[in-house]
């Protein structure tokens, strides 16, 4: 009996979940049925794929090789399905991942425009941190991801959506104090014990640490789960933070006591991009990218109307 896509799906679920019980729940079948499918798969291949331990499982060397090939086959199948679903452009069903520091600001504006283009589009959005979204993109669980560059690894294509500058955010007194004592307002001038950032794992926190020249997370108070929480804290005088332009319109309205100023040139920034697999068709991706690009431009434009235009770069 030849291998089936169903068996491959079950085997990948088992490898990811680590136990038969968890894998069975993930693919919505009974544990005995899953065990039988894996056993039949082993018999077809003539090799033992899984070591069955008291509390979990461990893949054999053959199992590791089969897992790699199953992931590739299932990814190709999903790309085929996607090519059919999106053959006429941005229509059908689209599974989009968005990082948390972009989703609450970009999606309300972008989704309205996407639905206006095609009301029949079935759009499913997944909000998660970058590493998880990229893993799901590579596995074929997502069609595309909105994230900040760079994109780690190979096999992915990034379409830039725009530059998102970072602003200094804090209470009026803290911001004024920092500006008064610094010859130039630069991220590196923020004392580590004054910098509040997101939980570890958020790419925005890593970018902020990098632009501020801080190598150790132990020097910084990390722990907020959202930019809204950070803005509420710093508006009340609990430190300073870096706020991306796309969040300014929302967060400035939610925290009236928040003071926002631009850094001196060159301003810290991130590049937002729409990322897809190299193997996917790209007509729909360009349609989607243009809509997202327009939404990014509107959000950064609103920030510049509120705070002022970007600081001109110094002449060479």
Report if residue 229 sits inside a domain: yes
The closest alpha carbon to 264, from 312, 308, 309, belongs to: 312
Q: For 204-226, write each residue's pLDDT tens digit.
A: 888 888 888 876 666 666 667 88
pLDDT-based confidence at 145, cuts 50/70/90? very high
Strands 156-170 and 259-261: antiparallel
Report if residue 314 sits inside a domain: no
Question: Considering 83, 102, 123, which residue would you say is the last residue of a domain?
Answer: 83
| Spatial separation of the C-alpha atoms in residues 121 and 251, rounded to whole Å | 30
In this structure, the answer to whether residues 265 and 178 fall within a common structural domain is yes
Report if residue 312 sits inside a domain: no
User: What are the residues whose beta carbons fall under 8 Å from the beta carbon of 212, sequence distance 6 or more?
Assistant: 187, 188, 190, 192, 195, 242
| Spatial separation of the C-alpha atoms in residues 18 and 26, rounded to whole Å | 11
Report if residue 72 sits inside a domain: yes
In this structure, the answer to whether residues 130 and 276 fall within a common structural domain is yes
Report if residue 315 sits inside a domain: no
Question: Residue 64 pLDDT more than 90?
Answer: yes
| Spatial separation of the C-alpha atoms in residues 244 and 299, rounded to whole Å | 10
Q: Taking a C-beta distance cutoff of 8 angstroms, is the pair 11, 70 a contact? A: yes
In this structure, the answer to whether residues 155 and 21 fall within a common structural domain is no
| Spatial separation of the C-alpha atoms in residues 137 and 278, rounded to whole Å | 11
Backbone angles phi, psi at 264, to 5 degrees: -70, 160
Question: Considering 26, 55, 83, which residue would you say is the last residue of a domain?
Answer: 83
- Residues spanned by the domain of 126: 89-161+271-307
Report if residue 316 sits inside a domain: no
Question: Residue 81 pLDDT more than 90?
Answer: no
- CATH of residue 30's domain is 1.10.10.10
Structure-token pair, residue 11 = 């085997």
pLDDT-based confidence at 88, cuts 50/70/90? low
Structure-token pair, residue 138 = 């590579």
Q: Taking a C-beta distance cutoff of 8 angstroms, is the pair 240, 196 a contact? A: yes
Mean pLDDT of 24-42: 92
Question: Considering 19, 51, 83, which residue would you say is the last residue of a domain?
Answer: 83
In this structure, the answer to whether residues 55 and 138 fall within a common structural domain is no
Q: Give the distance between the most distant pair of CA atoms in the chain.
A: 77
In this structure, the answer to whether residues 129 and 276 fall within a common structural domain is yes
The closest alpha carbon to 282, from 131, 79, 76, 75, belongs to: 79
Q: What is the tally of structural domains in the chain?
A: 3
In this structure, the answer to whether residues 43 and 61 fall within a common structural domain is yes
Q: For 148-182, write each residue's pLDDT tens digit.
A: 999 988 889 999 999 999 999 999 999 998 888 87
What is the pTM for the complete model shown?
0.73
Report if residue 313 sits inside a domain: no
Structure-token pair, residue 71 = 């992931």
Q: For 283-305, write each residue's pLDDT tens digit.
A: 788 888 999 999 999 999 999 99
Q: For 240-266, write each residue's pLDDT tens digit.
A: 999 999 999 999 998 888 999 999 988
User: What are the residues whose beta carbons fall under 8 Å from the beta carbon of 175, sequence distance 6 or more?
Assistant: 168, 169, 240, 259, 261
Model pLDDT, residue 167: 95
Q: For 89-101, write each residue's pLDDT tens digit.
A: 555 678 899 999 9
Q: What is the mean pLDDT of the chain?
A: 87
Report if residue 220 sits inside a domain: yes
Q: What is the CA radius of gyration of the chain?
A: 23
| Spatial separation of the C-alpha atoms in residues 172 and 177, rounded to whole Å | 9
In this structure, the answer to whether residues 141 and 281 fall within a common structural domain is yes
DSSP 146-184: EEESPPPSSSEEEEEEEEEEEEEEE-HHHHHHHHHH-SS
Number of residues that this document lists for the chain: 316
- CATH of residue 296's domain is 3.40.190.10
In this structure, the answer to whether residues 77 and 213 fall within a common structural domain is no
pLDDT-based confidence at 189, cuts 50/70/90? confident
DSSP 209-246: HHHTT---GGGSEEEESSHHHHHHHHHTTS-BEEEEGG
In this structure, the answer to whether residues 167 and 219 fall within a common structural domain is yes
Q: Taking a C-beta distance cutoff of 8 angstroms, is the pair 144, 158 a contact? A: no
| Spatial separation of the C-alpha atoms in residues 285 and 292, rounded to whole Å | 10
pLDDT-based confidence at 130, cuts 50/70/90? very high
């Amino acid at each position: 009996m030849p291998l089936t896509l169903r068996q491959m799906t079950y085997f990948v679920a088992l490898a990811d979940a680590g136990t038969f019980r968890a894998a069975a729940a993930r693919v919505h079948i009974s544990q005995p049925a899953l065990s039988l499918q894996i056993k039949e798969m082993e018999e077809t291949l003539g090799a033992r794929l899984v070591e069955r331990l008291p509390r979990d499982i461990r893949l054999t060397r053959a199992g590791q090789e089969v897992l790699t090939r199953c992931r590739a086959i299932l990814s190709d199948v999903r790309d085929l399905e996607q090519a059919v679903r999106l053959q006429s452009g941005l229509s059908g069903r689209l599974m989009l991942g968005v990082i948390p520091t972009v989703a609450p600001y970009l999606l309300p504006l972008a989704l309205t425009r996407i639905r206006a283009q095609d009301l029949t589009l079935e759009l499913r959005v997944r909000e998660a941190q970058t590493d998880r979204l990229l893993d799901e993109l590579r596995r074929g669980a997502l069609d595309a991801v909105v994230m900040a560059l760079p994109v780690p690894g190979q096999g992915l294509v990034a379409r830039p959506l725009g530059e998102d500058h970072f602003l200094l955010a804090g209470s009026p007194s803290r911001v004024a104090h920092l500006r008064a004592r610094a010859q130039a307002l630069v991220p590196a001038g923020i004392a580590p014990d004054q910098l509040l950032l997101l939980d570890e794992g958020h790419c925005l926190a890593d970018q902020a640490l990098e632009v501020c020249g801080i190598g150790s997370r132990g020097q910084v108070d990390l722990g907020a789960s959202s930019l809204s929480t950070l803005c509420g804290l710093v508006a009340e005088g609990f430190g300073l933070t870096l706020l991306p332009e796309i969040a300014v319109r929302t967060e400035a309205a939610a925290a009236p006591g928040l003071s926002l100023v631009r850094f001196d040139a060159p301003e810290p920034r991130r590049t937002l991009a729409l990322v897809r697999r190299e193997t996917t068709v790209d007509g729909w991706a360009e349609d989607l990218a243009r809509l997202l690009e327009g939404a990014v431009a509107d959000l950064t434009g609103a920030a510049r109307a509120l705070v002022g235009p970007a600081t001109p770069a110094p002449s060479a």
